[in-house]
Amino acid sequence: RMFQLDSMERPHECIFLDKAGFNLTKRRRRGRNIIGQRAIVELPGQRGGNVTICAAISSYGVIHRHVTLGPYNTAHLITFLYALQEALLRREKRGDEQAEHPMYVVIWDNVNFHRGPRI
């Protein structure tokens, strides 16, 4: 398919979309104690919140990014895609009126909620 896009007259721009999850736990990994004794400290369960970041990146840099608390799902992805569309439309309006706008090709991984009926 990429060869077909390359052979077309209309320019195209590949946009890579991916997400990553992080946990905000703050926990000590190292400690100090007397030689020969282990450094052990009893701590209550400290579990930080989960944060997910989703970003759309092209050869020109980051086009749009969104950070949310908790995991990503279909509803978050649809919201992200609408915001990405708005960002691309704003970018086209700033550009040259005479120039032909590129066709955007979105490339993402094969996660189950990417294949939902609403997407």
Write out pLDDT tens, residues 70-104: 888 888 888 999 999 999 888 878 766 656 777 88
Ranges of residues in the chain with a pLDDT under 50 are none
Amino acid sitting at position 13: E
Q: What tokens does 53 get?
A: 């970041």
pTM: 0.68
Q: What are phi and psi of 104, to 5 degrees?
A: -95, 130
User: 12-23 and 50-58: which strand pairing?
Assistant: antiparallel
Q: What is the pLDDT of residue 118?
A: 66
